[in-house]
Amino acid sequence: MDLQQQFGPIDIYLFDQLLRSRITPGMRILDAGCGSGRNLVYLLSQNYEVFGADTNPEAIETVRALATHLPKTNFRLEPVEAMSFPKAYFDVVISSAVLHFARDDRHFRAMLRGLWRALKPGGLLFCRLASSIGIEHQVQPIEGRRYLLPDGSERYLVDEPLLMRLTEQFSGQLADPLKTTVVQNQRSMTTWMVRKL
């Protein structure tokens, strides 16, 4: 089996967490905004207890087809801010390329509260989201924290002060320093890893 078959198109920073044994067998994992399951291929093949939520019905059906050994109710058609999973239920909550679709501050906070609510004390929140870090002078403000990026997309953008403030407000602790990748001055993606205290 080649790496693509084994791991699928997994986010490289999520793969790093697997390599560092922060995500281990026996953990209960939620992919909030799971799409069609690109970050779940390996976890499903290794029989992790995996759950997901997304607002796209086709994506949920695709993930359910990947996870035939798990109950269909593990994968729910619902938004991140209104997930029906039990409170403090997951060891790891994944939010990859989801939070930057927030409409405004209120929506962003609601989504973030949904993620945090689902996470157990001691659990790990993995967020990968668009930011203005490194491209501050290339983005054009639209309204609030919504910006037009050089690649033509519109995103809700965070920055380092906001992420540090949120970490403190949610009584979390950075599990890793913030890591940001700037893609040829077109967009910027930041990885925010928070441990729930």
Q: Domains along the chain?
A: 3-196 (3.40.50.150)
Contact between 105 and 144 (Cβ < 8 Å): yes
Rounded distance, CA 150 to CA 104, Å? Answer: 20
In sequence order, which residues have a C-beta less than 8 Å from that of residue 71 and are 6 or more positions away?
none
pTM (two decimals): 0.95
Residue 46's SS3 state is coil
What is the reported pLDDT for 73?
A: 96
**pLDDT, tens only, 154-191:** 999 999 999 999 999 999 999 999 999 999 999 999 99
**pLDDT, tens only, 4-24:** 778 888 999 999 999 999 999
**pLDDT, tens only, 10-64:** 999 999 999 999 999 999 999 999 999 999 999 998 878 999 999 999 999 999 9
DSSP of 127-147 = EEEEB-TT-TTT-EEEETTEE
What is the reported pLDDT for 1?
A: 65
Ramachandran region, residue 187 (left: φ > 0; alpha: ψ -120 to 50; beta: rest): beta
User: What does DSSP say about strands 49-54 and 28-32: parallel, antiparallel, or unpaired?
Assistant: parallel
What is the reported pLDDT for 9?
A: 86
Strand-pairing partners, residue 96, are 128
Rounded distance, CA 9 to CA 192, Å? Answer: 20
pLDDT tier, 197 (very low <50, low <70, confident <90, very high otherwise): very high
**pLDDT, tens only, 71-123:** 999 999 999 999 999 999 999 999 999 999 999 999 999 999 999 999 999 99
Distances, alpha carbon 130 to alpha carbons 2, 155, 179, 181, 192, in Å: 30, 7, 12, 10, 11
Q: Is the pLDDT of residue 3 over 90?
A: no
What is the reported pLDDT for 75?
A: 98
Average pLDDT over residues 133-139: 96
